[in-house]
């Protein structure tokens, strides 16, 4: 191990208590996409305190930022934090199912958990900065705050608006979310395209719906009622379910999901709903497949609007590009994972895991964590296992917007094991159990330690090893042809893209009753 990595590892070991405390802060905020106000403000303040120059609100996103620290002329290496939680996953840091104090179970909670993703990356960045200062290593660290990953939003926006220009390399970390990608780096099969948009249906002239009533009152009780926006939304919902199998051939894995936003402005009277909104997000291996899904959705929206006497419009939320491999960076990062060591869970973490198993009616296990969590797997071996269930023609699988960095500089994507429990045959753990493990310090801190060391060591590798950086950049140019090269794909969003902030995204609100989730806590849940 070189002296830079020794300094990084030593810093992380000295400050693991701080990193644990910081994760608790972000985990308990539990703020959801585009509404991560407290989380972003915390990062901005902490980075300024650490000597970074911080631009807040980057790309027109109030909860995004770019922080920069330089120790002189040298490569510009990027890393990033995510900190958005997921609605409907409010779980206390406990070994039984319960929401965080005073909140509805429908409130936000960290699942992956992005809280620990961001703090691990921050820890690696601060450790690298300390090593650079101590030993005199030259270069620049650029640390991004990337909100709304669950919407695949911020990175395509940052890319479109030029924030990734002039980066020499980027590091993307995520807690493990599927096997065999555990304590390893992605090799060839990276994430695919991710698109999302919102369809808005409005019924601006309900009184003109087929009515021959003599009543002077529009939409009177004796007039035929216009179907309205709620009907348009459900026509869209049903029609899309019916046509989903006709969107793309059954040759490669893809998915489409939906979420209803506004619910209409209608009472139980016979007034039709004026407005309704539904969001679709789809993941495909290729951009061409994503565009084809969009065309079918547009057709469905037009048909639904016509049937329900409405107008319709589409608002793009995101368009992200598929990822690109970088073997040079993957190999270097994996070596650092091995040096840092796979996470190991101690007696207290084992005790908490057994309590969860007992709570669920299982016999507590001597070794409750998956054995894969405490071992490393070489990227090429993980690749072979990953591709066992994929057709040979499919180059990309699932989606995540880290892929945007891949088109602007060499990028590595690596995974460290979050705590995952062994399950008896035929048993699946409920979501609350996995979520709780992300908030229990003894369970999540081992992942933070390993991930922070890996991020910091990879930064110092890229700053101190010119051959590594040269090889990574040469491989990147070979795959893309460079910016505007023959194989390079430009950002899919326009440079003047306006972030859709003003829709009814789930969020915490402040009322006369105090701060609560926008779906309030029922009285019996407060007892």
300 within 8 A of 236, measured Cβ to Cβ? yes
Q: Which two tokens stand for residue 451?
A: 């991930």
Q: How far apart are CA 376 and CA 416, in angstroms?
A: 9
Q: What local confidence, expressed as pLDDT, does residue 516 receive?
A: 87
* Residues 129/141, Cβ–Cβ less than 8 Å: yes
User: Quick check: 296 and 246 in contact, CB under 8 A?
Assistant: yes
β-bridge mates for residue 185, sequence order:
414
Q: How high is the pLDDT of residue 231? A: 93
- Helix intervals (H) in 308-343: 327-340
Contact 43, 126 (CB under 8 A): no
The structure tokens listed for 137 are 């290593």
Range 264-275 burial, b when 16+ CB lie within 10 A, else e: bebeeeebbbbb
Q: Which of 458, 526, 509, 524 is nearest to 107 (CA)?
A: 509
CATH topology of domain 3-188+325-480: Aminopeptidase (3.40.630)
| CATH topology (fold) of 194-211+221-320 | Alpha-Beta Plaits (3.30.70)
pLDDT in tens, 223-274: 678 899 999 999 999 999 999 999 998 778 899 999 999 766 766 667 788 9
Packing angle of the helix pair 3-29, 114-135 (nearest 10 deg): 150
Whole-number pLDDT of residue 215: 59
Q: Specify the pTM.
A: 0.95
Burial of residue 216 (CB within 10 Å: 0-12, 13-18, 19+) is exposed
- What pLDDT is stored for residue 11 in this prediction? 98
Question: What pLDDT score does 504 carry?
Answer: 92
Q: pLDDT value at position 218?
A: 57
Domain with CATH 3.30.70.360 in the chain: 194-211+221-320
Q: Where are the beta strands (DSSP E) in 46-138?
A: 53-56, 65-70, 76-81
Taking 70 as the pLDDT cut, the residues of the chain under it are 211-223, 263-264, 266-269, 522-527
- Whole-number Å distance between alpha carbons of 240 and 279: 12
Taking the C-alpha atoms of residue 389 and residue 285, their distance in angstroms, rounded to an integer, is: 14
**Token pair 């555990």 in the structure block, residue:** 182
Query: For residues 205 and 61, what is the distance between their CA atoms, to the nearest angstrom?
Result: 35
Beta strands, E only, 241-274: 255-260
Ranges in the chain annotated CATH 3.40.630.10: 3-188+325-480
Q: What is the pLDDT at residue 233?
A: 94
- The token pair at 238 is 């049903």
Separation between Cα atoms, residue 200 and residue 229, nearest integer Å: 9
Q: Which residues of 415-454 are buried (b: 16+ CB within 10 A; e: fewer)?
A: bbbbbbbbeeeeeebeebbbbbbbbbbbbbbbbbbbbbbb
DSSP letter assigned to residue 356: H
Give the chain's length.
527
| 313 closest CA partner among 228, 194, 197, 156 | 197
As to burial, measured by CB atoms within 10 angstroms (0-12 exposed, 13-18 middle, 19+ buried), residue 288 is: exposed
Please state, in angstroms and rounded to a whole number, the distance separating the CA atoms of residues 99 and 85: 14
Residue 163 near residue 277 (C-beta atoms within 8 A): no
């Amino acid at each position: 191990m070189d002296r830079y990595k020794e300094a990084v590892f030593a810093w992380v070991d000295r400050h693991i208590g701080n990193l644990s405390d910081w994760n608790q802060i972000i985990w308990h905020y539990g703020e959801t996409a585009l509404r991560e106000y407290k989380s972003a403000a915390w990062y901005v303040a902490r980075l300024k305190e650490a000597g970074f120059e911080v631009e807040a609100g980057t790309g027109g996103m109030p909860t995004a930022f770019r922080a920069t620290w330089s120790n002189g002329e040298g490569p510009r290496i990027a890393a990033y934090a995510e900190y958005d939680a997921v609605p409907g996953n409010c779980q206390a840091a406990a070994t039984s199912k319960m929401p965080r104090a005073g909140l509805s179970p429908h409130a936000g909670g960290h699942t992956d958990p992005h809280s620990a993703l961001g703090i691990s990356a921050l820890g690696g960045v601060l450790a690298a900065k300390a090593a650079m200062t101590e030993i005199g290593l030259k270069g620049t660290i650029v640390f991004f705050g990337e909100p709304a990953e669950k919407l695949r939003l911020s990175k395509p926006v940052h890319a479109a608006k030029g924030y990734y220009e002039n980066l020499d390399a980027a590091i993307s970390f995520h807690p493990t979310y599927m096997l065999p990608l555990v304590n390893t780096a992605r090799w060839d099969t990276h994430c695919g395209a991710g698109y999302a948009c919102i369809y808005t249906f409005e019924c601006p002239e309900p009184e003109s719906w087929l009515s021959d009533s003599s009543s002077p009152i529009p939409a009177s009780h004796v007039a035929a009622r216009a179907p309205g926006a709620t009907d348009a939304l459900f026509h869209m919902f049903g029609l899309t379910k019916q046509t989903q199998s006709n969107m793309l051939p059954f040759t490669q894995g893809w998915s489409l999901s939906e979420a209803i936003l506004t619910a209409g402005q209608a009472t139980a009277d016979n007034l039709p709903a004026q407005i309704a909104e539904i969001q679709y997000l789809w993941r495909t291996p290729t951009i061409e497949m994503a565009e084809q899904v969009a065309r079918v959705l547009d057709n469905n929206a037009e048909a639904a609007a016509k049937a329900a006497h409405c107008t319709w419009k589409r608002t793009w939320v995101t368009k992200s590009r598929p990822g690109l491999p970088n073997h040079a960076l993957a190999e270097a990062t994996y070596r650092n994972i091995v040096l840092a060591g796979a996470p190991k869970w101690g007696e207290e973490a084992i005790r908490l895991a057994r309590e969860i198993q007992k709570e669920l009616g299982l016999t507590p296990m001597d070794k409750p964590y998956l054995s894969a969590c405490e071992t490393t797997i070489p990227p090429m071996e993980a690749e072979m296992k990953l591709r066992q269930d994929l057709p040979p023609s499919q180059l990309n699988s699932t989606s995540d917007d880290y892929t945007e960095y891949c088109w602007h500089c060499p990028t590595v994507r690596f995974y460290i094991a979050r705590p995952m429990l062994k399950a008896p045959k035929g048993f699946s753990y409920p979501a609350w159990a996995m979520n709780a493990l992300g908030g229990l310090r003894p369970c999540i801190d081992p992942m933070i330690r390993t991930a922070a060391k890996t991020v910091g060591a990879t930064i110092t590798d890229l700053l101190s090893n010119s051959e590594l950086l040269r090889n990574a950049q040469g491989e990147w140019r070979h795959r893309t042809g460079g910016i505007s090269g023959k194989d390079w794909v430009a950002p899919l969003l326009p440079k003047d893209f306006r972030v859709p902030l003003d829709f009814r995204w789930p969020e915490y609100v402040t009322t006369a009753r105090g701060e609560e989730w926008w779906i309030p806590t029922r009285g019996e849940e407060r007892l």
